[in-house]
Homo-oligomer: A and B are copies of this chain.
Amino acid sequence: MNDGLRVAVVGATGAVGREMLQVLSDRNFPIGRIEAFASPDSVGKMLDFRDQTLRVQSLESLSDPGQFDVALFSCGSERSLTWAPRFARSGCIVIDNSSAWRGHEQVPLVVPEVNGDALEQASLGVVAVPNCSTIGLVQALAPLHAHRPLRRVVVTTFQSVSGSGRKGIEELDRQTRQLFNAQGVESDVFHKRIAFNILPLIGEPEDDGFTAEERKLMTETLKILGDDEIRVVATATRVPVFVGHGLSVVVEPSEPIGVEEAQELIAAHPGVLLTDVEAPMNAPTPEDIAGEDFTLVGRLRRDPSTATGLALWVVSDNLRKGAALNAVQIAEAMIQRGLLAPRREGRQESP
């Protein structure tokens, strides 16, 4: 046990933070010591982890981040901009779930099954977890792109309320009950009612009409697939689903990829399951994915509107593969590559 890693989970009480603890536990991650941090109003809360109870601490009271080997961050961009460098400078690897560091040249943006090699370039000691929808997208696209470079991707997302954290989950729950009890509905987290409704934008549109959520799909995809030539256009919507993001995708490879060929390529890619090849009605839904580690793909078909196109549908658990699981998998991949290990100081502390 004492040869394990000293792990900090930062933002541990949020929807993704709790899932990080769950995933670390489920996967028997080699933990020597684990501590939970969160924003001041969550300090003192108790979280279960295996047979321990973790008392949530304040980052502000942490004098030496160097006492950790790895920190999993899911505390928003602002706090990440402040705290990730402090952890990294003290020698602790930071795996950050926010968008703060994703575009930074010296920060790898990693889905381990797709571009694990990029972990070697983590010269700042910070690795970024991509946007939740982008992870599902690149999991499905990577095997196609490796075979025939994709030139254009058109994607529309169906994002569940857990993408807005626990408050998003609570708002869908509360609004649904209010409607069923003929009560007035209040919207706090979302800008309009989400219960029995579709919100065709996530966050505010910027000058060119795209939201930051859409821009993440349009830029992160290129960095992860390592190809600046791909052109992506995205529409990101919020749907009344608790967990699981869906993606309707149309791609144009540089040369045709047959449907069966595409099925074989995707089926051979780690972490991806094709669900409806034998059973066409079993195209994957968010209900099928909640709690699963795989990215599910279905509806693969030849797009007759272009010479080379394919259409497909992707679902992934936005809290697990879309965030917590991918973060833990990054840590595991860094261990395998010798990039993350209990540091000497840590070993000396626990003789």
| Chain A residues near B (Cβ < 8 Å) | 152-154, 156, 158, 172, 176-177, 180, 191-193, 196-201, 204-205, 208-210, 218, 231-233, 235, 237, 239-242, 246, 248, 250, 259, 280-281, 283-288, 298-306, 309, 311, 313, 315
Contacts and interface: CB of A to CB of B under 8 A. Distances in A.
A205 B280 contact: yes
B303 A233 contact: yes
Given A204-B281, A248-B156, A197 B301 contact: no
Contacts of A283: 199-201
Contacts of A285: 192-193, 197-200
A320 to B, nearest CB: 17
Which A-B residue pairs are the 8 nearest by beta carbons? A209-B301, A231-B305, A156-B248, A233-B305, A156-B156, A200-B313, A235-B248, A197-B287
A163 to B, nearest CB: 14
A248 B158 CA distance: 11
Contact of A200 (B152, B172, B232, B284): B284
State the copy count for this chain.
Answer: 2
A198 B198 CA distance: 11
Contacts of A299: 200-201, 205, 209, 235
26 contacts: A152-B305, A154-B154, A154-B305, A176-B180, A191-B281, A192-B285, A193-B285, A200-B246, A200-B284, A200-B285, A200-B298, A200-B313, A201-B280, A204-B281, A208-B301, A208-B302, A209-B259, A209-B299, A233-B309, A235-B248, A235-B299, A237-B246, A237-B248, A239-B240, A240-B241, A248-B248
A22 B204 CA distance: 37
Contacts of A218: 304
A331 B192 CA distance: 36
Given A154-B250, A233-B303, A233-B309, 13 more contacts: A158-B239, A180-B180, A191-B281, A193-B287, A197-B287, A198-B239, A198-B246, A200-B283, A200-B315, A201-B283, A218-B304, A232-B305, A233-B304
